[in-house]
């Protein structure tokens, strides 16, 4: 039985000398498929199995075993920037690794197609730090791990002027409940965090981002990464490479 569905490539592993075991991200969730002869083929899979390449895959159920066979694929979108820019290469690797290791068991089609449009968008942009912040906050939302930024997560009271954000507690604390490990956030930062759930595009995100001072932006970049790592309790290998490239190349 042959069936077709859209997919993003997340990873591939060599199987013996000629095959690949390919990890795909689809509207049905993550799956692994066998690309027979893909290591040797110059026609069927040329440039199609790189990180976050968007495909229409044709899968066949095997007579034996549970792993579907990748019979072929039609290219829907091939990111160009990771092949030309090392920073984008590390960033795309980071996104693929995050999806591979933390994707939820169930996923809405809306979330899948948002991710495919996001990939196309970042391929054309040159603002990796903002794009990374937006990705981390939206992926937390998709996985049901968004920080709570309205009422105090301990007592339920709504802060009015001073906002204290606790990574370990998962969101905002009021003046009476704060501890020594909080971020002190401005009303502008809180307003941005509250609006992210309604934002769909990086263009919208950029408009809000421009309304912050440089120090406020830097604080949110640190907050999003630390919150992300704490609540997934896992650090991607590719994140270390991405940050090393930032340090070495500015």
Residues in Cβ contact with 184 at an 8 Å cutoff, skipping those fewer than 6 apart: 162, 163, 164, 165
Q: What's the confidence (pLDDT) of residue 1?
A: 64
Residue ranges covered by each domain of the chain? 2-77, 81-249
Question: Quick one: tokens of 186?
Answer: 């401005």
Q: What is the DSSP string of 140-181?
A: HHHTT-PPB-SS-TTT-PPPSS-EEEETTTTEEE-TTT--TT
> Which residues in 188-202 are b (16+ Cβ under 10 Å) and which e?
ebbebbeebeebeeb
Residues 98 and 104 sit within 8 Å (Cβ to Cβ): no
Do 2-77 and 81-249 come out as alike in CATH topology?
no
Q: What's the confidence (pLDDT) of residue 64?
A: 81
Question: Quick one: tokens of 12?
Answer: 């591939």
The three-point CA angle 156-161-166 to 5° equals 55
Residues 152 and 175 sit within 8 Å (Cβ to Cβ): no
Q: What is the DSSP string of 204-250?
A: HHHHHHTTS-HHHHHHHHHHHHHHHHHHHT---HHHHHHHHHHHHH-
For each of the chain's 250 residues, which pLDDT tens digit applies?
688 999 999 999 988 888 899 999 999 999 999 998 888 776 778 889 999 999 999 999 888 878 999 999 999 999 999 999 999 999 999 999 999 999 998 889 999 999 999 999 999 999 999 999 999 999 999 999 999 999 999 999 999 888 999 999 999 999 999 988 999 999 999 999 999 999 999 999 999 999 999 999 999 999 999 999 999 999 999 999 999 999 887 6
pTM: 0.94
CA dist 104 and 91 (Å) reads: 21
Residues 38 and 20 sit within 8 Å (Cβ to Cβ): yes
Q: Which fold has domain 81-249?
A: de novo design (two linked rop proteins) (1.20.1440)
Q: What's the confidence (pLDDT) of residue 37?
A: 83
Q: What's the confidence (pLDDT) of residue 46?
A: 80
On whether the 2-77 domain is CATH 3.30.830.10, my answer is no
């Amino acid at each position: 039985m042959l069936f077709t569905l859209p997919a993003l490539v997340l990873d591939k592993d060599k199987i013996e000398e000629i095959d690949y075991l390919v990890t795909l991200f689809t509207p049905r969730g993550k799956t692994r498929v066998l690309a027979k002869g893909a290591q040797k083929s110059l026609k069927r899979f040329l440039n199609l199995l790189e990180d976050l390449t968007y495909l229409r895959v044709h899968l066949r159920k095997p007579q034996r075993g549970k792993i579907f066979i990748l019979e072929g694929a039609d290219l829907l979108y091939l990111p160009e920037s990771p092949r030309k820019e090392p920073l984008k290469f590390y960033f795309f690797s980071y996104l693929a690794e995050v999806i591979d290791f933390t994707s939820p068991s169930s996923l809405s089609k809306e979330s899948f197609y948002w991710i495919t449009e996001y990939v196309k968008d970042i391929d054309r942009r040159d603002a990796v730090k903002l794009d990374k912040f937006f990705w981390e906050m939206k992926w937390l939302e998709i996985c049901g791990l968004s920080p709570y930024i309205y009422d105090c997560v301990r007592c339920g009271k709504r802060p009015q002027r001073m906002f204290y954000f606790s990574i370990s507690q998962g969101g905002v604390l009021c003046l009476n409940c704060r501890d020594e490990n909080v971020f002190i956030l401005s009303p502008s930062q809180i307003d941005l965090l509250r609006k992210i759930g309604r934002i769909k595009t990086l263009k919208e995100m950029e408009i809000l981002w421009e309304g912050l001072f440089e120090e406020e932006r830097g604080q949110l970049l640190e907050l999003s990464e630390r919150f992300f790592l704490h609540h997934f309790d896992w650090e991607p290998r590719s994140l270390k490479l991405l940050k090393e490239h930032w340090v070495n190349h500015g």
